[in-house]
Protein backbone atom coordinates (compact mmCIF):
# COMPACT_ATOMS: atom_id res chain seq x y z
CA UNK A 1 0.00 0.00 0.00
CA UNK A 2 2.82 2.41 0.86
CA UNK A 3 4.49 1.41 -2.39
CA UNK A 4 1.50 2.52 -4.45
CA UNK A 5 1.20 5.72 -2.40
CA UNK A 6 4.83 6.67 -2.89
CA UNK A 7 4.67 5.72 -6.59
CA UNK A 8 1.74 8.11 -7.08
CA UNK A 9 3.44 10.86 -5.08
CA UNK A 10 6.71 10.49 -6.99
CA UNK A 11 4.93 10.43 -10.33
CA UNK A 12 2.98 13.64 -9.68
CA UNK A 13 6.05 15.46 -8.36
CA UNK A 14 8.01 14.34 -11.42
CA UNK A 15 5.21 15.47 -13.76
CA UNK A 16 5.07 18.87 -12.03
CA UNK A 17 8.80 19.29 -12.63
CA UNK A 18 8.66 18.31 -16.33
CA UNK A 19 7.87 20.60 -19.24
CA UNK A 20 4.19 21.49 -19.22
CA UNK A 21 3.84 20.74 -15.52
CA UNK A 22 2.47 23.50 -13.32
CA UNK A 23 5.29 23.25 -10.77
CA UNK A 24 6.47 26.85 -10.44
CA UNK A 25 3.44 28.49 -12.08
CA UNK A 26 1.37 29.10 -8.98
CA UNK A 27 4.38 30.56 -7.18
CA UNK A 28 4.96 33.03 -10.03
CA UNK A 29 1.23 33.90 -10.02
CA UNK A 30 1.44 34.48 -6.24
CA UNK A 31 4.39 36.81 -6.77
CA UNK A 32 2.53 38.67 -9.53
CA UNK A 33 -0.48 39.48 -7.35
CA UNK A 34 1.68 40.57 -4.43
CA UNK A 35 3.76 42.80 -6.73
CA UNK A 36 0.66 44.42 -8.26
CA UNK A 37 -0.81 45.52 -4.92
CA UNK A 38 1.77 48.22 -4.04
CA UNK A 39 1.39 49.63 -7.55
CA UNK A 40 -2.37 49.84 -7.09
CA UNK A 41 -2.35 51.29 -3.56
CA UNK A 42 0.60 53.66 -3.85
CA UNK A 43 3.66 53.93 -1.59
CA UNK A 44 1.84 54.20 1.75
CA UNK A 45 3.95 51.86 3.86
CA UNK A 46 1.69 51.98 6.92
CA UNK A 47 -1.35 51.00 4.89
CA UNK A 48 0.58 48.25 3.10
CA UNK A 49 1.94 46.71 6.27
CA UNK A 50 -1.51 46.83 7.87
CA UNK A 51 -3.24 44.97 5.04
CA UNK A 52 -0.16 42.96 4.00
CA UNK A 53 -1.12 39.65 5.67
CA UNK A 54 -4.59 39.83 4.12
CA UNK A 55 -3.05 40.43 0.67
CA UNK A 56 -0.68 37.50 1.03
CA UNK A 57 -3.52 35.22 2.10
CA UNK A 58 -5.80 36.36 -0.70
CA UNK A 59 -2.99 35.84 -3.21
CA UNK A 60 -2.38 32.36 -1.77
CA UNK A 61 -6.06 31.42 -2.17
CA UNK A 62 -6.06 32.56 -5.81
CA UNK A 63 -2.69 30.94 -6.54
CA UNK A 64 -4.01 27.60 -5.23
CA UNK A 65 -6.63 27.67 -7.98
CA UNK A 66 -3.95 27.74 -10.70
CA UNK A 67 -3.45 24.22 -11.94
CA UNK A 68 -6.21 22.83 -9.74
CA UNK A 69 -8.47 22.13 -12.75
CA UNK A 70 -5.83 19.76 -14.15
CA UNK A 71 -5.44 17.83 -10.88
CA UNK A 72 -7.76 14.99 -11.93
CA UNK A 73 -8.75 16.12 -15.42
CA UNK A 74 -5.42 15.27 -17.04
CA UNK A 75 -5.62 11.75 -15.58
CA UNK A 76 -9.24 11.40 -16.66
CA UNK A 77 -8.42 12.43 -20.24
CA UNK A 78 -5.55 10.04 -20.87
CA UNK A 79 -7.06 7.09 -19.04
CA UNK A 80 -4.70 7.09 -16.05
CA UNK A 81 -7.75 7.32 -13.82
CA UNK A 82 -8.95 3.95 -15.16
CA UNK A 83 -5.58 2.58 -14.14
CA UNK A 84 -5.97 4.05 -10.65
CA UNK A 85 -9.48 2.59 -10.25
CA UNK A 86 -7.93 -0.83 -10.78
CA UNK A 87 -5.07 -0.21 -8.36
CA UNK A 88 -4.58 -2.50 -5.42
CA UNK A 89 -5.30 0.47 -3.12
CA UNK A 90 -8.56 2.30 -2.40
CA UNK A 91 -9.31 5.39 -4.49
CA UNK A 92 -9.23 7.50 -1.31
CA UNK A 93 -5.53 6.77 -0.96
CA UNK A 94 -4.99 7.74 -4.60
CA UNK A 95 -6.70 11.08 -3.93
CA UNK A 96 -4.68 11.58 -0.76
CA UNK A 97 -1.42 10.98 -2.63
CA UNK A 98 -2.35 13.30 -5.49
CA UNK A 99 -3.49 16.13 -3.20
CA UNK A 100 -0.36 15.75 -1.08
CA UNK A 101 1.77 16.05 -4.21
CA UNK A 102 -0.28 19.06 -5.26
CA UNK A 103 0.22 20.73 -1.89
CA UNK A 104 3.96 20.02 -1.96
CA UNK A 105 4.22 21.80 -5.33
CA UNK A 106 1.90 24.74 -4.55
CA UNK A 107 1.00 25.29 -0.89
CA UNK A 108 4.40 24.54 0.60
CA UNK A 109 6.39 26.82 -1.76
CA UNK A 110 3.83 29.58 -1.12
CA UNK A 111 4.24 29.31 2.63
CA UNK A 112 8.04 29.16 2.43
CA UNK A 113 8.27 32.16 0.12
CA UNK A 114 5.77 34.27 2.10
CA UNK A 115 8.49 35.97 4.25
CA UNK A 116 10.34 37.01 1.11
CA UNK A 117 7.24 38.32 -0.64
CA UNK A 118 6.22 40.01 2.63
CA UNK A 119 9.07 42.48 1.98
CA UNK A 120 7.08 43.82 -0.98
CA UNK A 121 4.17 44.79 1.26
CA UNK A 122 6.36 46.14 4.11
CA UNK A 123 5.61 43.43 6.68
CA UNK A 124 7.38 43.47 10.04
CA UNK A 125 9.52 40.40 10.85
CA UNK A 126 6.84 39.13 13.27
CA UNK A 127 4.16 39.46 10.63
CA UNK A 128 6.35 37.64 8.09
CA UNK A 129 6.82 34.72 10.45
CA UNK A 130 3.15 34.64 11.38
CA UNK A 131 2.02 34.72 7.74
CA UNK A 132 4.39 31.92 6.80
CA UNK A 133 3.21 29.79 9.74
CA UNK A 134 -0.50 30.35 9.08
CA UNK A 135 -0.02 29.62 5.38
CA UNK A 136 1.85 26.44 6.26
CA UNK A 137 -1.04 25.28 8.45
CA UNK A 138 -3.87 26.66 6.29
CA UNK A 139 -2.89 25.81 2.71
CA UNK A 140 -3.58 22.04 3.13
CA UNK A 141 -7.23 23.01 3.77
CA UNK A 142 -7.24 24.99 0.50
CA UNK A 143 -5.74 22.07 -1.42
CA UNK A 144 -8.23 19.51 -0.07
CA UNK A 145 -11.27 21.76 -0.58
CA UNK A 146 -10.04 22.45 -4.10
CA UNK A 147 -9.62 18.72 -4.76
CA UNK A 148 -13.37 18.17 -4.29
CA UNK A 149 -14.10 20.77 -6.96
CA UNK A 150 -11.38 19.32 -9.20
CA UNK A 151 -12.92 15.85 -8.90
CA UNK A 152 -16.43 17.16 -9.63
CA UNK A 153 -15.25 18.98 -12.77
CA UNK A 154 -12.83 16.27 -13.94
CA UNK A 155 -14.99 15.24 -16.88
CA UNK A 156 -16.04 18.77 -17.87
CA UNK A 157 -14.06 20.39 -20.64
CA UNK A 158 -12.92 23.92 -19.67
CA UNK A 159 -14.14 23.27 -16.14
CA UNK A 160 -11.66 25.71 -14.58
CA UNK A 161 -14.10 28.57 -14.13
CA UNK A 162 -16.86 26.39 -12.70
CA UNK A 163 -14.26 24.94 -10.38
CA UNK A 164 -13.28 28.38 -9.08
CA UNK A 165 -16.92 29.35 -8.53
CA UNK A 166 -17.64 26.11 -6.68
CA UNK A 167 -14.64 26.07 -4.36
CA UNK A 168 -13.97 29.75 -3.59
CA UNK A 169 -16.97 30.14 -1.23
CA UNK A 170 -15.86 27.01 0.63
CA UNK A 171 -12.41 28.53 1.14
CA UNK A 172 -13.79 31.59 2.97
CA UNK A 173 -13.57 30.13 6.52
CA UNK A 174 -9.93 29.20 5.94
CA UNK A 175 -9.23 32.71 4.65
CA UNK A 176 -10.94 34.34 7.65
CA UNK A 177 -9.08 32.29 10.25
CA UNK A 178 -5.78 32.52 8.37
CA UNK A 179 -5.84 36.30 8.30
CA UNK A 180 -7.22 36.66 11.83
CA UNK A 181 -4.52 34.34 13.21
CA UNK A 182 -1.84 36.44 11.55
CA UNK A 183 -3.35 39.62 12.94
CA UNK A 184 -3.66 38.11 16.40
CA UNK A 185 0.09 37.51 16.32
CA UNK A 186 0.63 41.24 15.81
CA UNK A 187 -1.33 42.22 18.92
CA UNK A 188 -5.00 42.58 19.67
CA UNK A 189 -7.37 41.08 22.15
CA UNK A 190 -7.38 37.47 20.86
CA UNK A 191 -4.44 35.21 21.76
CA UNK A 192 -2.53 33.91 18.72
CA UNK A 193 -3.17 30.25 19.37
CA UNK A 194 -7.00 30.42 19.28
CA UNK A 195 -7.50 31.23 15.57
CA UNK A 196 -4.41 29.15 14.76
CA UNK A 197 -6.00 26.09 16.39
CA UNK A 198 -9.21 26.66 14.42
CA UNK A 199 -7.13 26.94 11.25
CA UNK A 200 -5.41 23.63 12.03
CA UNK A 201 -8.80 22.04 12.70
CA UNK A 202 -10.08 23.31 9.35
CA UNK A 203 -7.13 21.68 7.59
CA UNK A 204 -7.71 18.36 9.33
CA UNK A 205 -11.46 18.39 8.63
CA UNK A 206 -10.84 19.32 4.98
CA UNK A 207 -8.29 16.51 4.78
CA UNK A 208 -10.85 13.90 5.79
CA UNK A 209 -13.97 15.23 4.07
CA UNK A 210 -12.10 16.39 0.97
CA UNK A 211 -10.45 13.00 0.44
CA UNK A 212 -13.69 11.06 0.86
CA UNK A 213 -15.77 13.46 -1.24
CA UNK A 214 -13.26 13.67 -4.10
CA UNK A 215 -12.89 9.88 -4.22
CA UNK A 216 -16.66 9.43 -4.21
CA UNK A 217 -17.17 11.86 -7.06
CA UNK A 218 -14.36 10.26 -9.10
CA UNK A 219 -15.75 6.79 -8.53
CA UNK A 220 -19.01 7.46 -10.37
CA UNK A 221 -18.09 10.33 -12.58
CA UNK A 222 -21.13 9.81 -14.81
CA UNK B 1 -10.97 -16.94 -12.16
CA UNK B 2 -14.43 -16.98 -13.71
CA UNK B 3 -16.29 -13.94 -14.96
CA UNK B 4 -20.05 -14.06 -14.73
CA UNK B 5 -22.24 -11.39 -16.32
CA UNK B 6 -25.98 -11.62 -15.92
CA UNK B 7 -28.70 -9.66 -17.62
CA UNK B 8 -26.55 -6.55 -18.01
CA UNK B 9 -28.08 -3.31 -19.31
CA UNK B 10 -26.37 -0.10 -20.24
CA UNK B 11 -27.73 3.43 -20.36
CA UNK B 12 -25.75 6.44 -21.58
CA UNK B 13 -27.17 9.97 -21.36
CA UNK B 14 -30.63 8.59 -20.66
CA UNK B 15 -30.67 6.29 -23.73
CA UNK B 16 -30.71 2.52 -23.39
CA UNK B 17 -27.77 1.17 -25.41
CA UNK B 18 -28.23 -2.54 -24.81
CA UNK B 19 -29.94 -4.80 -22.30
CA UNK B 20 -30.27 -8.42 -21.30
CA UNK B 21 -26.63 -9.26 -21.89
CA UNK B 22 -25.38 -12.45 -20.19
CA UNK B 23 -22.25 -14.52 -20.54
CA UNK B 24 -19.85 -16.61 -18.48
CA UNK B 25 -16.14 -16.84 -19.08
CA UNK B 26 -13.98 -19.54 -17.52
CA UNK B 27 -10.21 -19.93 -17.20
CA UNK B 28 -8.38 -19.85 -20.54
CA UNK B 29 -11.42 -18.64 -22.45
CA UNK B 30 -11.60 -15.60 -24.70
CA UNK B 31 -14.53 -13.47 -25.75
CA UNK B 32 -14.65 -11.23 -28.80
CA UNK B 33 -17.18 -8.44 -28.56
CA UNK B 34 -18.35 -7.26 -31.95
CA UNK B 35 -21.02 -4.89 -33.14
CA UNK B 36 -21.47 -1.76 -35.18
CA UNK B 37 -20.05 1.59 -34.09
CA UNK B 38 -21.90 2.91 -31.07
CA UNK B 39 -23.34 -0.49 -30.16
CA UNK B 40 -21.85 -0.20 -26.68
CA UNK B 41 -18.66 -2.28 -26.92
CA UNK B 42 -16.52 0.24 -25.08
CA UNK B 43 -19.33 0.89 -22.58
CA UNK B 44 -19.46 -2.84 -21.82
CA UNK B 45 -15.70 -2.85 -21.18
CA UNK B 46 -16.04 0.26 -18.99
CA UNK B 47 -18.69 -1.51 -16.92
CA UNK B 48 -16.55 -4.63 -16.59
CA UNK B 49 -13.62 -2.47 -15.42
CA UNK B 50 -15.80 -0.77 -12.82
CA UNK B 51 -15.67 2.72 -14.33
CA UNK B 52 -19.32 2.76 -15.38
CA UNK B 53 -22.30 1.75 -13.30
CA UNK B 54 -24.57 -0.84 -14.95
CA UNK B 55 -28.16 0.26 -15.44
CA UNK B 56 -29.31 -3.22 -14.47
CA UNK B 57 -27.81 -6.68 -14.01
CA UNK B 58 -24.73 -7.94 -12.23
CA UNK B 59 -21.04 -8.52 -12.92
CA UNK B 60 -19.20 -10.95 -10.66
CA UNK B 61 -15.83 -12.59 -10.50
CA UNK B 62 -15.44 -16.03 -8.91
CA UNK B 63 -12.28 -17.61 -7.49
CA UNK B 64 -10.58 -14.25 -6.97
CA UNK B 65 -10.22 -14.37 -3.20
CA UNK B 66 -10.72 -11.14 -1.29
CA UNK B 67 -9.85 -8.87 -4.18
CA UNK B 68 -12.51 -6.86 -5.97
CA UNK B 69 -13.04 -7.39 -9.68
CA UNK B 70 -11.28 -4.10 -10.66
CA UNK B 71 -8.13 -5.37 -8.94
CA UNK B 72 -8.06 -8.50 -11.10
CA UNK B 73 -8.03 -6.93 -14.52
CA UNK B 74 -5.95 -4.97 -16.98
CA UNK B 75 -7.51 -2.40 -19.29
CA UNK B 76 -5.93 -1.27 -22.54
CA UNK B 77 -8.14 1.04 -24.54
CA UNK B 78 -8.11 4.16 -26.64
CA UNK B 79 -7.13 6.21 -23.65
CA UNK B 80 -3.90 4.41 -22.93
CA UNK B 81 -3.14 5.68 -19.44
CA UNK B 82 0.36 6.81 -20.39
CA UNK B 83 1.77 10.19 -19.41
CA UNK B 84 3.39 11.90 -22.40
CA UNK B 85 5.95 13.76 -20.28
CA UNK B 86 7.26 10.57 -18.65
CA UNK B 87 9.49 8.01 -20.35
CA UNK B 88 8.21 4.54 -21.26
CA UNK B 89 10.28 3.10 -18.41
CA UNK B 90 8.83 5.56 -15.87
CA UNK B 91 5.29 4.89 -17.06
CA UNK B 92 5.73 1.13 -16.68
CA UNK B 93 7.52 1.47 -13.33
CA UNK B 94 4.56 3.49 -12.08
CA UNK B 95 2.04 0.91 -13.34
CA UNK B 96 4.05 -1.86 -11.70
CA UNK B 97 4.10 -0.10 -8.31
CA UNK B 98 0.47 1.01 -8.53
CA UNK B 99 -1.07 -2.27 -9.69
CA UNK B 100 1.11 -4.63 -7.65
CA UNK B 101 1.80 -8.33 -8.27
CA UNK B 102 4.84 -7.60 -10.44
CA UNK B 103 5.86 -10.02 -13.16
CA UNK B 104 8.38 -8.86 -15.81
CA UNK B 105 10.54 -5.76 -15.34
CA UNK B 106 9.66 -2.80 -17.60
CA UNK B 107 12.82 -3.43 -19.64
CA UNK B 108 11.90 -7.06 -20.28
CA UNK B 109 8.29 -6.17 -21.12
CA UNK B 110 9.39 -3.53 -23.63
CA UNK B 111 11.82 -6.00 -25.18
CA UNK B 112 8.99 -8.52 -25.51
CA UNK B 113 6.99 -5.88 -27.38
CA UNK B 114 10.00 -5.21 -29.62
CA UNK B 115 10.65 -1.74 -28.19
CA UNK B 116 13.78 -2.02 -26.02
CA UNK B 117 15.19 1.22 -27.45
CA UNK B 118 12.33 3.51 -26.33
CA UNK B 119 12.67 2.88 -22.59
CA UNK B 120 14.33 6.25 -22.02
CA UNK B 121 12.22 8.27 -24.47
CA UNK B 122 9.27 10.35 -23.30
CA UNK B 123 6.10 8.63 -24.49
CA UNK B 124 4.99 11.88 -26.15
CA UNK B 125 7.70 11.40 -28.80
CA UNK B 126 6.45 7.96 -29.84
CA UNK B 127 4.18 7.16 -32.78
CA UNK B 128 0.61 5.97 -32.21
CA UNK B 129 1.59 2.34 -32.79
CA UNK B 130 4.61 2.52 -30.51
CA UNK B 131 2.49 4.14 -27.81
CA UNK B 132 -0.04 1.36 -28.08
CA UNK B 133 2.75 -1.21 -27.73
CA UNK B 134 4.03 0.52 -24.57
CA UNK B 135 0.47 0.36 -23.19
CA UNK B 136 0.31 -3.35 -24.10
CA UNK B 137 3.64 -3.89 -22.32
CA UNK B 138 1.74 -3.03 -19.14
CA UNK B 139 -0.08 -6.36 -19.49
CA UNK B 140 3.26 -8.06 -18.95
CA UNK B 141 4.67 -6.07 -16.03
CA UNK B 142 1.85 -7.08 -13.67
CA UNK B 143 0.08 -10.41 -13.48
CA UNK B 144 -3.70 -10.06 -13.62
CA UNK B 145 -6.06 -12.80 -14.76
CA UNK B 146 -8.53 -10.78 -16.84
CA UNK B 147 -7.47 -8.64 -19.82
CA UNK B 148 -9.95 -6.11 -21.19
CA UNK B 149 -8.76 -4.91 -24.59
CA UNK B 150 -10.55 -2.23 -26.59
CA UNK B 151 -9.54 -2.58 -30.25
CA UNK B 152 -6.05 -3.68 -29.26
CA UNK B 153 -4.78 -3.91 -32.84
CA UNK B 154 -5.62 -0.28 -33.74
CA UNK B 155 -2.45 1.39 -35.10
CA UNK B 156 -0.42 -1.83 -34.73
CA UNK B 157 1.69 -3.14 -37.62
CA UNK B 158 1.36 -6.78 -38.73
CA UNK B 159 4.41 -7.98 -36.79
CA UNK B 160 3.09 -6.43 -33.56
CA UNK B 161 -0.34 -7.98 -34.15
CA UNK B 162 1.37 -11.39 -34.22
CA UNK B 163 3.23 -10.56 -31.01
CA UNK B 164 -0.06 -9.58 -29.38
CA UNK B 165 -1.76 -12.80 -30.59
CA UNK B 166 1.10 -14.84 -29.11
CA UNK B 167 0.87 -12.88 -25.83
CA UNK B 168 -2.86 -13.54 -25.56
CA UNK B 169 -2.30 -17.22 -26.39
CA UNK B 170 0.27 -17.57 -23.59
CA UNK B 171 -1.97 -15.70 -21.16
CA UNK B 172 -4.85 -18.07 -21.91
CA UNK B 173 -2.60 -21.12 -21.62
CA UNK B 174 -1.80 -19.95 -18.07
CA UNK B 175 -5.53 -19.81 -17.29
CA UNK B 176 -6.09 -16.14 -18.04
CA UNK B 177 -9.19 -14.59 -19.56
CA UNK B 178 -9.35 -12.19 -22.50
CA UNK B 179 -12.26 -9.94 -23.40
CA UNK B 180 -11.62 -7.91 -26.54
CA UNK B 181 -13.82 -5.43 -28.36
CA UNK B 182 -12.80 -5.52 -31.98
CA UNK B 183 -13.75 -5.22 -35.63
CA UNK B 184 -11.14 -7.67 -36.92
CA UNK B 185 -9.90 -11.15 -36.19
CA UNK B 186 -7.29 -10.96 -33.45
CA UNK B 187 -5.77 -14.41 -33.85
CA UNK B 188 -7.63 -15.67 -30.80
CA UNK B 189 -8.12 -19.40 -31.26
CA UNK B 190 -11.62 -20.75 -30.65
CA UNK B 191 -12.73 -17.49 -29.09
CA UNK B 192 -16.40 -17.03 -28.46
CA UNK B 193 -18.12 -14.13 -30.07
CA UNK B 194 -20.64 -11.82 -28.47
CA UNK B 195 -22.44 -9.62 -30.93
CA UNK B 196 -24.11 -6.59 -29.41
CA UNK B 197 -27.12 -5.97 -31.62
CA UNK B 198 -29.05 -2.77 -32.02
CA UNK B 199 -31.87 -2.23 -29.57
CA UNK B 200 -35.13 -3.10 -31.28
CA UNK B 201 -37.46 -0.32 -32.33
CA UNK B 202 -40.06 -1.54 -29.85
CA UNK B 203 -37.61 -1.23 -26.96
CA UNK B 204 -36.66 2.30 -27.93
CA UNK B 205 -40.32 3.25 -28.13
CA UNK B 206 -40.97 1.78 -24.68
CA UNK B 207 -38.10 3.81 -23.33
CA UNK B 208 -39.54 7.02 -24.74
CA UNK B 209 -42.95 6.38 -23.23
CA UNK B 210 -41.34 5.51 -19.93
CA UNK B 211 -39.31 8.70 -19.96
CA UNK B 212 -42.16 10.95 -20.97
CA UNK B 213 -44.09 9.65 -17.96
CA UNK B 214 -41.14 9.99 -15.62
The pLDDT value given to residue A182: 92
Rounded to whole angstroms, how far apart are CA atoms B102 and A4?
Answer: 12
Q: Identify the band that residue B209 occupies on the pLDDT scale cut at 50, 70 and 90.
A: very low
Which of A40-54, A75-89, A130-144 holds the top average pLDDT? A130-144
CA distance A3 to A8: 9
Contact B53 A220 (CB under 8 A): yes
Q: Which of A10, A11, A16, A83 to substitute to test the interface with B, most B CBs within 10 Å?
A: A83
Judged against a pLDDT cut of 70, whether residue B210 lies above it is answered with: no
Model pLDDT, residue A9: 94
pLDDT at B214: 44
What is the pLDDT, as a whole number, of residue A12? 92
pLDDT tens digits, B131-175: 999 999 999 999 899 999 999 888 889 999 999 999 999 999 999
Q: How confident is the model at residue A213 (pLDDT cuts 50, 70, 90)?
A: very high
Distance from CA of B51 to the nearest CA of A (A): 7
Note the pTM of the prediction, 2 decimals: 0.89
Cα-based distances in Å from A37 to A34, A41, A42, B19: 6, 6, 8, 61
Q: Which ipTM was obtained for this model?
A: 0.86
* CB-CB under 8 Å, A87 with B86: no
Residue B151 is classified by DSSP as S
| Shortest distance, CA A79 to any CA of chain B (angstroms) | 4
pLDDT by residue (tens digit) across A58-104? 999 999 998 888 899 999 888 898 888 888 889 999 999 999 999 99
A4: nearest CB among B75, B83, B98: B98
Please give the interface size between A and B, counted as residue pairs whose CB atoms are below 8 Å apart: 83
Q: Which residue has the higher pLDDT, A141 or B79?
A: A141
* pLDDT tens by residue, A172-194: 999 999 999 999 998 878 888 99
- DSSP designation for B174: T
Interchain contact, B99 vs A7, CB within 8 Å: no
How far is A123 from A101, CA to CA, in rounded Å? 30
Distance CA A25, CA A43 (A): 28
**What's the pLDDT score for residue B201?**
42
Looking at chain B, which runs of residues are DSSP E strands? 2-12, 15-25, 30-34, 56-62, 73-76, 146-150, 177-181, 192-195
Confidence of residue B88 (pLDDT cuts 50, 70, 90): very high
Taking CA atoms, B178 is separated from A117, B43, B137, in Å, by: 57, 16, 15
Average pLDDT taken over every residue of chain A:
91
Q: How far apart are CA B175 and CA A58, in angstroms?
A: 59
What is the pLDDT of chain B when averaged over all its residues? 86
Mapped onto helix, strand or coil, the DSSP state of residue B22 is: strand
- Measured between beta carbons, the chain B residues lying within 8 angstroms of A83 are 75, 81, 95, 98-99
Q: For residue A21, what pLDDT is reported?
A: 65
What pLDDT does A20 receive?
A: 64
CB contacts of A6 in chain B (<8 Å) are 97
Question: How many angstroms separate the CA atoms of A141 and A150, rounded?
Answer: 14
Instruction: Judge whether residue B103 has pLDDT over 70.
Output: yes
- Please report, for chain A, the start and end positions of each structural domain, with discontinuous segments joined by +: 2-219
**Reported confidence tier of residue A129, pLDDT bands at 50, 70, 90:** very high
pLDDT (0 to 100) of residue B202? 43
- What is the least distance, in Å, from the CA of A90 to any CA of chain B? 10
Closest alpha carbon to A120 in A21, A24, A32: A32
Domain boundaries, chain B: 2-64+145-213, 82-143
Share of chain B above pLDDT 70, in %: 92
B62 vs A200 pLDDT, higher one: A200
CATH code at B2-64+145-213? 3.40.50.300
Angstrom distance (rounded) from CA A5 to CA B28:
33
* Pairwise CA distance, residues A206 & A200, whole Å: 10
Amino acid sequence: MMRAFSALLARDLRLAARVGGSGALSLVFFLMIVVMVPFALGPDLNLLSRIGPAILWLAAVLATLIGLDRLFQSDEEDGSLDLMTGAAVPLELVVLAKVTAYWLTTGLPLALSAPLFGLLVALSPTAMGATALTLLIGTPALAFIGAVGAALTATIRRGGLILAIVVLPLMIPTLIFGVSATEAALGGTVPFTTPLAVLGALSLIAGVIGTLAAAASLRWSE
Amino acid sequence: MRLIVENLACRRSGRRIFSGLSFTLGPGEALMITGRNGAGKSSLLAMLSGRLKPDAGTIRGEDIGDAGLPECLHVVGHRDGLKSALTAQENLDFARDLLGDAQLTPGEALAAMGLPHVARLPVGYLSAGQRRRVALARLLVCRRPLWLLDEPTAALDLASQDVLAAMMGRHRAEGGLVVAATHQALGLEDARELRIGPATAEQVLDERIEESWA
